[in-house]
Structure 1
Amino acid sequence: MSSISIKTSEEIAGMRIAGRLGAEVLDYITPFVKPGVTTGELDRLCHEYMTNVQGSIPAPLNYCPPGYTPYPKAICTSVNDVICHGIPGDKVLKTGDVVNLDITVIKNGFHGDNSRMFFIGEPSILARRLSDVTYECMWLGISKVKPGAYLGDIGHAIQQHAEKNGYSVVREFCGHGIGTVFHEEPQVLHYGKPGTLERLEAGMIFTIEPMINAGRREIREMGDGWTIKTKDRSLSAQWEHTVLVTETGYEVLTDSAGTPPPPAVVQKQVAQGEAPAAAA
């Protein structure tokens, strides 16, 4: 018996609202992500926007899984060789940096979780390509989502595209089920074999959030207990959406006016009938 919760229509409606609000925080913060700003200032702005404008709660703030210390900030800011869970602080962003902003809001008890990559000034060719391929990886994973498909299909599509482009997939962190709980079943691995792991059913909601490294996949944990970096100090990129399995395919719940469109590689698959189109 699967322990993955199937959401009711009321729960799905709540998740749509939370997902949109999560994406709108990223829309809001975009103009502020520029040379000279500190990651702490980005955190302050996002925190104020969530609490004062949206009436939402920043899910990461004081989040404390077993074995961890409480997370001290409202968002995660992962710069350059930071893979995930970078803690905002005094770091000043400078031209050439890349940063992932990971935003999760809680609204009416429901979680909306998403992240985007941002370039500070003009990025290097390597950084732009890594971010683009990671975005394609996320969407190639999303495009596998439909009832009857398997979680392994998602991981395989991501791993294949990353490795074909000379990159590696982080194994220690993965996507996750989400609802009124921040992290629930299933674990959504970003590598794997087609036709393996849990079978997807309409009403499941989970994140797809591949972490792709320009170098090797090995990680190292910093002394703060949260920040994860690439062991070889290579660049890392991540994109994330929260996705609903629908009766015919998928719906991206973390969608807003400023959400980037699917990449050409996925639009082509949809046009050729090889992948379902996103539900409107």
Structure 2
Amino acid sequence: MKISIKNNQEIEKMRIAGKLVGKVLDMIKSYIVPDISTVELNDICHDYIVYYQKATPACLGYHGFPKSVCISVNEVVCHGIPNKHQKLKEGDIVNIDVTIIKNQYYADSSKMFFVGKCHQKAKNLCKAAKDSLYSTFKIIKPGMQLNVIGNTIQKYICKTPFSIVKEYCGHGIGNNFHEDPHILHHKNKFNTIKLQKGMTFTIEPIINAGNQEVFCEKDGWTVKTKDGSLSAQYEHTILVTESGCEILTLRETENIHSTYINI
């Protein structure tokens, strides 16, 4: 395993990319309305990234992925492919996953959106996914074993009626989309490496309303819950600092700290 430790110049480039990702997710919120198609949302994100931000959507063409962002609706767990025939409807929950390349460095984040009025259980699910992610920001620090992240997420979700998808994980990120290490989102004994200042990675727990089992569609990308239950995911790109962590993809509309002091 080769883990990249970023220097100050690289970190600054990732901060720039991270701010752009946050701005895309803030921008697209007003377009999340009934009857808009997921491909229309994709195209709005694409044009904003390419023509306004002068950046590159990392998903487009990645291992053959055909669109610029992933859009996962209701029971779609992750990697949903935007489709002109899929139109949002009142009560849907939607995850939009945005990864941007700027100055050869990547940043990656996703969040949930509500289409009109949603059922309370759907809101509770999304809140649990978000809060399980947020719970990790208060414990990340140099010298900590990586598996404490997964243990913390599972400890939080065990207090809810929901389940954690174990097939997908966070990942190192920098001048590559996916780098070492893998970030597991459940209790585990495998991630025993110790965090170091300058490490950058994503944390992106996927939480299901029903059981944790999932399957991949024949398109090779779209992952869904086996029981048809709703699924929610939140993701941020994180920097390990000398005393805690920094959220590189923090959105302007997000009511949390950008840095956490945990030592």
Q: 1:86 aligns with which of 80, 90, 94?
A: 80
**SS of match in other structure, 1:18:** helix
Q: Which amino acid aligns with 1:247?
A: E
Question: Hey, what does 1:25 align to over in structure 2?
Answer: 24
Question: Hey, what does 1:51 align to over in structure 2?
Answer: 50
Q: Gapped runs of 5+ residues in structure 2? A: none
TM-score normalised by structure 1 residue count? 0.90
Which residues in structure 2 correspond to 1:79-118 (within 5 Å)?
79-89=73-83, 90-118=85-113
Question: Hey, what does 2:148 align to over in structure 1?
Answer: 153
**Is the CA contact (8 Å cut-off) linking 1:209 and 1:238 kept in structure 2?**
yes
Q: 2:194 aligns with which of 191, 199, 224?
A: 199
User: After superposition, what is the alpha-carbon deviation per residue over 1:235-280, rounded to whole angstroms, capped at 9, x for unaligned?
Assistant: 100000000000000000002322x223xxxx8xxxxxxx9449xx
Q: Gapped runs of 5+ residues in structure 1? A: 65-69, 268-274
Question: Hey, what does 2:248 align to over in structure 1?
Answer: 253
Q: CA RMSD in A?
A: 1.6
Q: Which amino acid aligns with 1:59?
A: A
**Is the CA contact (8 Å cut-off) linking 1:150 and 1:194 kept in structure 2?**
no
State the identity as a percent. 46
Q: Which amino acid aligns with 1:11?
A: E
Q: 1:179 aligns with which of 174, 178, 181?
A: 174
The question of 1:5 aligning with 2:4 is answered yes
Show structure 1 runs of 4+ deviating over 6 A. none
Question: Hey, what does 1:272 align to over in structure 2?
Answer: none
User: After superposition, what is the alpha-carbon deviation per residue over 1:133-158, rounded to whole angstroms, capped at 9, x for unaligned?
Assistant: 11000011222211011111100110
In 1, Cα distance between the equivalents of 2:112 and 2:251? 16
In 2, Cα distance between the equivalents of 1:196 and 1:55? 37
In 1, Cα distance between the equivalents of 2:73 and 2:251? 24
Farther off after superposition, 196-205 or 52-61: 196-205
**1:34 Cα deviation (Å)?**
1.0
In 2, Cα distance between the equivalents of 1:246 and 1:122? 39
**Is the CA contact (8 Å cut-off) linking 1:142 and 1:208 kept in structure 2?**
no
User: May I ask how many residue pairs the two structures share in their alignment?
Assistant: 260
Question: Hey, what does 1:271 align to over in structure 2?
Answer: none
In 1, Cα distance between the equivalents of 2:47 and 2:182? 31
Question: Hey, what does 1:40 align to over in structure 2?
Answer: 39
TM-score normalised by structure 2 residue count? 0.95
